[in-house]
Structure formats: C-alpha cells, structure tokens
A and B are shown apart, each in its own frame.
Chain A
Amino acid sequence: MQPVDNPSIRIAFRSLISLVFAGAAVTACTTHEYPGRRANDAGDSSGVSAAATSSTSTPAGENVTGATAPTGPGWGIPADGDWTTQGRDYANTRYSPLAEIDTSNVSSLRIAWSFNDGVLHGHEGTPLVANNTMYLVTPFPDIAYALDLTKPGAPIKWTYRPNPSPIAIGKACCDVVNRGWQLADGKLIYNLLDGHTVAVDAATGKELWRTQVYDVTQGVTMTMAPVIVKDKVLVGNSGGEMGVLGSLTALDLKTGKIDWQATSTGPDSLVKIGPDFKPFYSWMQGKNLGETTWPAGAWKNGAGAVWGWITYDPDLNLIYAGTSNTGPWNAQQRPGLNLWTSGVFARDPDTGMAKWAFVFTPHNEWDYDGVNENILVNLPINGKQRKVMVQFNRNGFAYTIDRATGEVLMVSPFGHENWASGIDSVTKMPIVVPEKKTEVPGHWVRDICPADIGVKDEQPAAFSPRTGLFYVPVQNICMDYKGREVSYIAGTPYWGADMTRHVGPGGNYGEFIAWNASTGKKVWGIPEKFLVYSGVLVTGGDVAFYGTVDGWFRAVNARTGKILWSQKLGSGIIGAPMTFRGPDGHQYVSVLAGVGGAAMVTKAMPGFPARGGTLYTFALDSSIPAQGAQASQSSASSNGAPAKEKR
C-alpha cells in the first residue's frame, strides 16, 4: 500500500549500530532536593512535595495573555460533559469547561472506580466518553472496551479484539503503544500496531471496516491517533528507527478505502506539493526538495514518519501534521537538509496537497522529531491578533507559528537545551553549537541536551482559554551520543547511534510548567524527580491535571501552580487525563496508569514502577455513593452490591 516499493535488502558488512532504548545508562538522580521550593500544604505525600518555582502567578479570573481558543461549530467541540476525540477539539486544547471540581474542592477527590484492561504495555491514550459510555483501547493487541457508565462500577458493555499480527511487536521501536482512538459518525476508529486502521460500531463493538494501510513486515507500524475531518480518516505511520518512508494517509470514513497518501520525503508528486505550496522561508522553496536535499535515493528510507498528533483549522481548511526524526540517526550517511523530516506540514484535508511546511530541525543529528501536537489558538503578538499554532518541539524550543502562512512569530527554549545557541532571526534555522554536532560517527559527543526523547516528547500539552496559558510536560534529560554506521536491512532497525542518557541540571528529570506563547516565557514550573511523561488536562475549574512516571497523579491550581491534590496510582502515568460528566450529573476525571513507551529510558532509576494497565476514575468525595451502602430492592445498589435475598 505504500506509494513506492521498498528497496530490496541491502547488506553491508562494515556497518555498525547501537542499542538505544533499553539498557541505556541512566545516571544520577536519587533524592535530589530542589532549591527554592515552597512548602506544599496540600498533603502531598510523594516525597517530592513540589510547588511553583516562580513568584509569578496569574490573578484569579483573568486571562493573562489574551490568548483564546478558536470556537465555532466547525471546531469539533463536543457537548460540555463529553470527550469524544483525543485532543477534545480540533485545536487540541484538552480543555474542558466542566467546573464542579475546582481549586476549592479538588483536594477531596477520590477513586470512584477502576478498570484493569489486562495489558502490560505503555498506555499513552486518553479515554473517551459519549452517550454515557467510556471507550478505551489497550496497547498491543489493541483491544477496544466500551464501559457502561450508567451502571455501578462501569461494567464492560462490549469488547472488540482485532487480533493484529504479533510480528508488529518486534517492529515497534519504543513499546507497543496506541496513542489514541476517536469517535465519529457512530464509529470508534483507531489504528492497529500492525499497520491497519479499523472502524467499530460504537454501539455494538462490531467491526465495520478494516483497512491495511502499511506493511508491518517492512518495519512499518501505526501508533498514532487518527483524526477524522469531514469524510476523511487521517492516519500516519510509525518507524522512524526502521528506515520507513513516512506518510500521511486519508481513508474514507464510510468505507475505509484509501483516498490519498502524501509522503514526508521524495519528489513533489509523492509529497503532494503543487503550485499552491508556499513555505514562508526561502530555504524551503524550490522543486523536489524532498528528493534533492538527500543523497541519491536516501529519502526512501529517510523516515519522517507521521506518528504524532494532527490538528485541524476548519476556517482555513488546513490540517497540521508533524514529521518524525530523520533516518538513519547517523547524519553523516545523509548529507543535506533532509527535507521534509523533523518538520510540520499544513495540508488541505480534502486533497492532501501541502499549503506550507516548516522544518524545525533540518539535517537532524539528534533524533528531534517534529511530531508533537500543534495546539491552535488565537493570540496577540506585538499588539496584533494572530491565528497561530504552538508546538513544544522535541528540540527544546517552543514555536508560535502563524498557522495560515507558516511564519514563525515567536520561538524560545521552554526547558534545558544546549545543542543550539538560538534560532536564526531570518531563516528560523537553529544555530547549532559545533561541539554538540554528532555528524562524524565513531566518537562520543558528551552531554547533549536534550537527549533523543527531547525536552518534550509526544505527551500532549493543554491550553486554557480562561487563563490564556499553556500547560506543558517538560523533560530534563541529556545524552552522550556516538554515531555509528548502519546499513538498511528491511524489517530491521535503521538506527545508527549508540548512546547513554543522564539527568539534566538540577537533578530533576521532569517539570510541569505554565507557558505564555505570546511572550515565549515560562510563568511557573513544578520540578519532578521522575519524568513528566503524561499528557495534560485543564478545566473550567482552573485545575490542571498531570501525572509522573513514578505514578503520582496531581491536580494543580492552573493560575498559581500550587499542587492541590496528589494520588499515587498503580503504575507510571504516560497517558493523558480527561474529564466528563457522568449520568448522575457529577464531574469525573479519568486517567490511565501503565508505564512504558519512551519513559522506559529511565527504567534504571530506583523506584521506577512496574508495568500496569489500569484506568482510574475520580470524583469528589461528596459525589461518590457511600461504600457499603444498604442494598436496595433493585437488582443492584448504587455501589454494585447485589440486592439482599428475602428469606
């Protein structure tokens, strides 16, 4: 199903490669204490007792940046009590207006019910809720569950087992994750690790269509969350470490039939670049740059996989989808700018044709993918209101970009990086620090920050239209890196790097920050000993929720950064929390706990949790029926206890 044939197997005997994820050394970081932290008075018992590190905080009720979320019927905003797509709306704000749980009462949250899905791999998705039903999909083998929220304990309504090919297990670089599922047109739609997309009847769990999009035997997998725009299901591939040809594919929502496919590298005809393509910067203008910025033919295994998040502006009729790292990691084997990897495309969802593109990390030497979510907001910059997208890139810089033109309006580091001294004011290319270049293989380059997994990875940030702030999970991790020559052998990794990772300055692997995208400045931050590899939820009650890799689920005052509540869950949190209104009218908060994915690079840390696969649902103590309540005359009481038999 790929637009070009994979090259035949090539074997070279001088090649070298490396291990990257597992077994990578993790040094330092045991019980480091962070200076300047305020005492936490909310009963946080994690031993990390983090609190805001900045004196700046936002006054109650005020939007401090002037940034607002786009609104209108086309923006995919569900009913206020529902959550039907991963990012909650096409802008991917992950903001819910629900406000029963607020800063004054969130400390009384407790577990209402939980659900173990039986799969012990990384849980990176967000539960969905519609029609009083919760929808979950497990990591491989990608089982879908519908849970009935109208019944006590939310029992299983239906289960769908797609039985994907187990070959996929050995082709996925970084755990066999599923990053998300979507509800549209009465269907639950998601990707299988083995390169298929499926649509399931949301009411019955019956499979409606199943389409093979990619060939898993060639190392191509699928882990991203599809996005449904009009009559199209948009999906992309994974395999940035497998020498794949990255692409974005549109399927027909009704039938699953493939409509169009656009690659991330190669000639303009494959990339879907035509006369309407107008990149803002001159170095991205020209014919067939996806082919000519590579050594002959290298684009075919140049990656640019589309494994991240897709957002959509219905007013401009443009979708925004990032492209992965460049393949192989060893940059000496691919002299050139290596377009269009490590960047983002704006495309027409109807045709796939590119409107503009921007490449964050040209000739990527560090695995800084461009796939992170592009959150769409409207905000003032230099006194002028702009329609922008904000991306917190792996490379450590936060980009505020005009989403109509691709012009970079604001760019600044949002965490610790030392590989670039800045961004060129004219070209917006990174100014690479010569000592951090990895291009010449065979020698160790020490202390490159961030490490391959970036200052932020795929875990999605959130935006509150109430505060005007972005809430961002941040990683403080660096690497020692040694490039290695590598040969392409189809179906095996095409990697070309050996590395170890270590914690960045301060000794905290993680941080949770609030960000002003108009000024490019951090407002406050909460350091965490372990990685913050969870997505973020922010609500109308001005509460932001996030989780840590060691399993702490936290609620934070979205204005001040003060931790208001924490709960230790059964495994590390790498999914994104969500909130919904239950059939009882009360607000609930749900999150998956199941460590895995790229968070495993820190698995050697003392206290790193075991695998898990449990959904936790929380509510205010006052909203949860009392435990052990008297059984009623009905078949089941509100706490699920069977009715007492009459004797």
Chain B
Amino acid sequence: MAIHAFAFHRAPCLRAAAIALLIGSVQACKGQPELLREGSTGGIPLPKDSTLARVALGDIAGSTRNTLLTSIKNPYEGNTGAIEAGGELFVRMNCVACHGYDARGGMGPDLTDTYWRYGGSPAEIYKSISEGRPQGMPAWGAMLTSDELWKLTAYVQSLGGSFPAALAEQGKQGNLGATLDTATGVLKGRQSEP
C-alpha cells in the first residue's frame, strides 16, 4: 500500500484562533499542525487559507455581499490533469461511498445538481470539503493538502452541478437557472423527472 505523505507546518496559535473566530466555529487551539496552503506541486499559485477563511457559509450569509466569494477562483478549473487527479481522490478517499460513483448522491447529497446546501461556488465547495459539514461530511482539510483539495474541487466542478465564482451571488438568490441555461444549455436545478 502506498503511503501518502502530508505537508505540515506548525502554525502560530494566534492565527489558528483568528481563523476559527472568523469562520464562526468553536475550535480550541491545541497547537495541532496546520496544513501548508501556499503553492501547488505544479507551481500554480493557490488562494491563501487566510483569504478563504473569510468566505462565509452560503446558507447563513446574506446580510452583506461577500465579494470574496465571487473573486476566489479555482486555479485548477477546467485543468484536465487536475480534474483527473481529483477524480482519483474522489474514489480513494471514499467520497464515492457517500456521494455515489456517479456523484448522484446516496448517504450524502447529489453533487451533480445545482442545489447546494452550503454553496456551489468553487470557494464554497473547497471549504465544505476542507472543513466538513454538520450532517456527516468529514473535514478533509485535516488529511489532504490545499493542492489536493483544489483538485477535488475541480473534479466536483467538472460534474456540472456547481457554478462559476462569478455566479455565486445569483446562486444565493436562487436565480441560477437562466444564467446556466445560456452557459451550458442545461437547467439541472429545475428539471422534471420522466
């Protein structure tokens, strides 16, 4: 069995506490190693954790417009090699067991439609994978690198249910359908069953 190596570095306690405060979760700083977030294996610059931490959860935000949400893009979006690598991670990390081999859901939600409990823009998907979500989604940030998380995000984006960062606001407002119709010709969120 191949052993997977993680890149860790010790983060200052203060920084971890500040992130915890910003994302609204209750986390004690116990000096755990924090993942290295900057720079991918292929030299592609990745968004910084400190920036991502300021992206609020899609379902509880809304009183103010969060421009970050629409400006953070997945550096691997549409990158064939990264999508393939993300697809392999989707299998290896047991994502398939909950979300399905076809990602159409099972124990966990469907990832191919436009209904996103915690937001369907790249930054929101990244955060959901990294931080985990309350109804059983594990926090993969504890065992995957930033680079791998963005590749997983690229794979999820390739499934067609997510939407580009630029449409994050429309997604929140429930106005996604028409926009996507032009972009992809598909109104997945509003399809009728046969």
Q: Which residues of A contact B (CB under 8 A)?
A: 9, 11-23, 166-173, 241, 486-487, 489, 491-495, 498, 606
Contacts and interface: CB of A to CB of B under 8 A. Distances in A.
A18 B108 CA distance: 13
Given A11-B4, A19-B102, 10 more contacts: A12-B1, A13-B1, A17-B97, A18-B101, A19-B99, A22-B106, A167-B136, A172-B107, A489-B93, A489-B138
Contacts of B36: none
Given A11-B4, A170-B135, A21 B106 contact: yes
A166 B4 CA distance: 31
A495 B101 CA distance: 12
B134 interface: yes
Contact of B107 (A15, A170, A486): A170
Given A22-B104, A22-B105, A487-B94, A167 B135 contact: yes
A23 B100 contact: yes
B102 to A, nearest CB: 5
Contacts of B106: 19-23
Nearest to B133: A170
Nearest to B105: A22
Query: Can you list the 3 inter-chain pairs with the closest CB atoms, starting with the nearest?
Result: A170-B136, A493-B97, A22-B106
Contacts of B94: 15, 17, 486-487, 489, 492-495
B60 interface: no
B2 interface: yes
B34 to A, nearest CB: 17
B138 A491 contact: yes
B136 A171 contact: yes
Contacts of B108: 170
B45 to A, nearest CB: 26
Contact of A15 (B92, B98, B99, B104): B92
Interface residues of B, number: 26
Interface in B18-38: none
Interface of B: 1-2, 4, 91-94, 96-102, 104-108, 134-138, 143, 194
Contacts of A498: 101
Given A11-B4, A17-B91, A166 B97 contact: no
A23 B105 contact: yes
Contacts of B92: 11-16, 487
Nearest to A20: B106
Nearest to A216: B136
Contacts of B136: 166-171
A18 B96 contact: yes
Contacts of A170: 98, 107-108, 135-137
Nearest to B137: A170
A63 B22 CA distance: 72
Nearest to B2: A13
A13 B138 CA distance: 18
Given A20-B106, A22-B104, A23-B102, A9 B143 contact: yes
Contact of B104 (A12, A20, A23): A23
Contact of A18 (B4, B93, B97, B143): B97
B7 to A, nearest CB: 15
13 contacts: A15-B92, A16-B92, A17-B96, A18-B96, A18-B97, A19-B99, A19-B106, A20-B97, A166-B135, A168-B136, A171-B107, A241-B97, A487-B1
B109 to A, nearest CB: 9
A170 B135 CA distance: 5
A492 B138 contact: yes
A130 B96 CA distance: 45
B29 to A, nearest CB: 20
A543 B72 CA distance: 65
B151 to A, nearest CB: 14
A244 to B, nearest CB: 14
A13 B97 CA distance: 15
Contacts of B138: 489, 491-492
Contact of B98 (A11, A487, A492, A606): A492
Contacts of A241: 97
Nearest to B100: A19
A166 B137 CA distance: 10
B100 A22 contact: yes
A13 B85 CA distance: 12
A401 to B, nearest CB: 34
Contacts of A11: 4, 92-93, 143
Contacts of B91: 15-17
Contacts of B135: 166-167, 169-170
B3 to A, nearest CB: 8
Contacts of B97: 17-20, 241, 486, 492-493, 495
B101 A12 contact: no
A15 B194 CA distance: 36
Nearest to B104: A23
Contacts of A15: 91-92, 94
Nearest to A221: B136
A602 B99 CA distance: 18
B4 A19 contact: no
A494 B93 CA distance: 11
A404 to B, nearest CB: 40
Contact of A19 (B96, B137, B194): B96
- The interface centre, meaning the residue of B91, B107, B143 with most chain A CB atoms within 10 A of its CB, is B107
B101 A167 contact: no
Nearest to B1: A12
A169 B109 CA distance: 11
Contacts of A494: 94
A15 B97 CA distance: 12
B74 to A, nearest CB: 23
A498 B100 CA distance: 10
Contacts of B102: 19, 23
B105 A14 contact: no
Contacts of A21: 106-107
Contacts of B2: 12-14
Nearest to A328: B97
A9 B98 CA distance: 18
Contacts of A19: 96-97, 99-102, 104, 106
A172 to B, nearest CB: 7
A2 to B, nearest CB: 19
Contacts of B104: 19, 22-23
A13 B94 CA distance: 11
A18 B98 CA distance: 9
A181 B55 CA distance: 43
A172 B98 CA distance: 10
Contacts of A173: 107
